[in-house]
């Protein structure tokens, strides 16, 4: 693809961003669909200046990552209701006039999960109560799932459960009994902590669907154990790719080449 005067610029803004897989994934999608766009990464410490820069240079869209997903909300012109409820924006769309904020983590996670299991009326345990858990938990409720927030600290877990009129369970008390779906949103199991699991083996029951939002390593100890226990598994790559596909579709109006995006991410992680 030729970069020319009409090429639309996109970027991830965050700190750190050097290891982000978003540029490889989105550029592959732009190339495959023939969309005249290019996607790069900007390490941003001064967020207000970066947002002013997006406006000044007419950068057409951004992914927003750690540590800016919450603070960015005050700097945009419009926030979609779901992102407002979650309290985090990870996608900016610039229509040339206004900057709008969206959350693609939530629909991306649901798309990945729904590939393997229905969610409506299923009993879902979300482990964790941080930013990622908020996106997952709201998605589960939006899709009609019955939610239990499972967290190590009581205050934070109870707060999220209360907000969504859902149940709370302390991580230490979690048995897995009676659950159809289990989603890990904590960083437990992420490289270099690969030998750890957020729950005990006994919590993994045949017939359950187990999802881990961690994608480095490609298969966490939790997902390996879940597979061995007879569970269906959804890995973090699926969620990452689907949240990227939601962004791509918002930015371009085209259908995202999901399989190609997935292959690109897996190759980059190997
Ligand atoms: P993020 O925004 O990426 O979700 P976060 O806001 O720091 O990250 O939230 C991390 C979540 O993972 C929290 O719910 C945290 O539990 P606490 O509320 O008890 O701190 C959970 N978490 C992190 N490390 C954990 C561990 N080693 N064991 C169990 N839970 C852990």
All structural domains of the chain with their residue ranges: 8-103+241-269, 107-234
What spacing in Å lies between the alpha carbon of 77 and ligand 1's midpoint?
Answer: 31
Q: Which two tokens stand for residue 235?
A: 């890995």
Superfamily for domain range 107-234: NAD(P)-binding Rossmann-like Domain (3.40.50.720)
Q: Is it the case that residue 24 has pLDDT exceeding 90?
A: yes
Looking at the predicted structure, is the pLDDT value of residue 195 above 90?
Answer: no
Domains 8-103+241-269 and 107-234 share a fold: yes
Q: What is the average per-residue pLDDT within 180-189?
A: 97
Nearest CA to ligand 1 atom 9: 130
Report the chain's terminal Cα–Cα distance, integer Å: 26
Whole-structure pTM value? 0.96
Nearest residue by C-alpha to atom 29 in ligand 1: 152
Report domain 8-103+241-269's class: alpha beta
Is 123 within 8 Å of 180 (Cβ atoms)? yes
Largest CA distance in the chain: 59
How much is the pLDDT for 194? 75
Buried b (16+ CB within 10 A) or exposed e, 143-155: bebbbbbbbeeee
Cα separation, 244 vs 102, whole angstroms: 12
Q: From the alpha carbon of 132, which atom of ligand 1 is closest? A: 4
Model confidence at 122: pLDDT above 90: yes
Question: Is residue 167 marked as binding?
Answer: no
- What number is the average pLDDT over the span 60-87? 98
């Amino acid at each position: 693809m030729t970069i020319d005067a009409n090429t639309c610029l996109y970027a991830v803004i965050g700190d750190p961003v050097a290891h982000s897989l978003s540029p490889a994934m989105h550029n592959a999608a732009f190339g495959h669909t023939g969309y005249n766009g290019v996607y790069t990464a900007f390490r941003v410490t001064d967020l207000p200046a970066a947002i002013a820069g997006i406006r000044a240079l007419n950068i057409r869209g951004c992914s927003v990552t750690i540590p800016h997903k919450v603070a960015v909300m005050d700097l945009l012109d419009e926030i979609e209701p779901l992102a407002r409820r979650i309290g985090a924006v990870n996608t900016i769309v610039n229509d040339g006039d206004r900057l709008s904020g969206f959350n693609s983590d939530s629909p991306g996670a649901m798309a990945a999960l729904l590939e393997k299991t229905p969610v409506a009326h299923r009993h879902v345990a979300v482990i964790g109560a941080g930013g990622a858990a908020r996106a997952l938990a709201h998605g589960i409720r939006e899709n009609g799932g019955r939610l239990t927030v499972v967290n190590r600290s009581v205050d934070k877990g109870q707060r999220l459960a209360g907000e969504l009129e859902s149940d709370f369970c302390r991580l230490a008390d979690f048995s897995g009994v009676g659950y159809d779906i289990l989603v890990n949103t904590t960083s437990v199991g992420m490289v270099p902590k690969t030998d750890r699991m957020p729950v005990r083996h006994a919590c993994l029951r045949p017939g359950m669907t187990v999802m881990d939002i961690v994608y480095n390593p490609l298969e966490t100890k939790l997902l390996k154990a879940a597979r061995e226990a007879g569970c269906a598994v959804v890995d973090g790559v699926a969620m990452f790719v689907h949240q990227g596909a939601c962004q791509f579709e918002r930015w371009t109006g085209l259908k995202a080449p999901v399989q190609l995006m997935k292959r690109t991410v897996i190759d980059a992680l190997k």
